[in-house]
Homo-oligomer: A and B are copies of this chain.
Amino acid sequence: MRKKDDEKQRCIKTAVVELILKEGFQGASISKIARAAGVSPATVYIYYENKDAMLRDIYQEYAEDTFQYLLESLHPNMAGEQIIEELIRSYYSYIVENEEIFHFVEQFSTCPALQSNCGFMKGPGNLNQLLTELKRRQILNNYSNDNLYAILFSPVKTIAVKKCDSEEAAMDRLDELITIIQKALIRGY
């Protein structure tokens, strides 16, 4: 017998994300995906139970990857402002460097009909732990985790997708945002 070919599954994942950026969920049909991935439509069903499961699985993997990416950017004994800067800056660069993946994850997560069938993810829990810990260590102001999370990650998302006139202007804008958020969240700043 032949062994399952991880390369094939990787191609499928890539094709899904590419196609969904280019054409939206509507245009990402199994046959287009298969063609883009260089496999037969039937092959997709060797790796995923059905289309919904495929999208869900790929979403969850990429979503977890994102959290992983963020948490890995932190070092144990960073100062509070460094932590904030690093989190925001790495999220920003993640979005810029993984535009397709980011948009796929965003589209998926803004669709309640898709989101509702998703299983457990550990990324959010880890981040919550981090935030709680930073408050305990009196690094961050004692705001609710929901608000800390919202302020740390949603504005940067907004500006990362909004194209600037120049690369330089974009950097200035990011620096400014970091400063604003550091002042807002760090204890006794």
Query: In A23-44, which residues have CB < 8 Å from any B CB?
Result: 23-27, 40
Known: A25-B26, A103-B111. 17 other contacts (CB 8 A): A1-B40, A22-B113, A24-B113, A25-B25, A26-B113, A27-B113, A103-B110, A107-B107, A144-B173, A144-B176, A146-B173, A147-B159, A150-B158, A150-B159, A151-B151, A154-B154, A184-B184
Q: Chain A, interface size: which category? A: 35 or more
Smallest CB–CB gap between A95 and chain B, Å?
A: 13
A149 at the interface (CB under 8 A from B): yes
B-binding residues in A (CB < 8 A)? 1, 21-27, 40, 103, 106-107, 110-114, 143-144, 146-147, 149-151, 153-159, 162, 164, 172-173, 176-177, 180-181, 183-185
